[in-house]
Amino acid sequence: MGRTSFSGPVYGAKGLLFSSYSPTAQMNTTAELCEFLVPATEDWYITDLHAYCTATGNAGSIDLESPDGTSLLASNLSLSANAGVQRTLVADAGEDEGKRVAAGARIYVESTVGASTSATGVMINVLGYIRKLNTPL
């Protein structure tokens, strides 16, 4: 169980908030791999980002961005060929774990790939807690 500073506990186990697969990320580019919309009836507390790719060029990395374009990670997550990598996000002030992403916000996953080759088979998993909001029916 997580805890939110403003409304008490977030009930339930930490779980998969979203997952994405991209067959390729183009050479020498920074590109958006996927975009997710947080449902209007809940806030998300993102705790972890896991990534895997089958092959990568030099400087292949992943970033998780908030709606205003700022990174939710302390630094980009470097990709390694045929290896999984993970990052635990630094918690917001007053939280036990997780970065809050407000209801209705869009989250972006971007890749940066070096000039020598492309990244292929990029799998992204984002984990955390969901806090349901009190919304009138």
CATH topology of domain 27-132: Jelly Rolls (2.60.120)
pLDDT single digits (tens) 42-63? 889 999 999 888 876 555 788 8
Q: Which of 31-35, 92-96, 125-129, 133-137 has the lowest mean pLDDT?
A: 133-137
Return the closest-CA partner of residue 22 out of 9, 35, 8.
35
Q: Where are the domains of the chain?
A: 27-132
* pLDDT higher than 60, residue 8: no
* pLDDT higher than 80, residue 4: no
Write down the pLDDT at residue 6. Answer: 54
DSSP string for residues in 65-119: E-TTS-BSSSS-EE--BTEEEEEEPPPPTT-SS-EEE-TT-EEEEEEEE-SS--E
**Element holding 26 (H helix, E strand):** none
Model confidence at 11, pLDDT cuts 50, 70, 90, reads low
Q: What is the mean pLDDT of residues 23-41?
A: 78
Model confidence at 67, pLDDT cuts 50, 70, 90, reads confident
Q: What is the pTM of this model?
A: 0.81
pLDDT single digits (tens) 78-128? 877 777 889 999 988 888 888 999 999 999 888 777 666 666 778 899 999
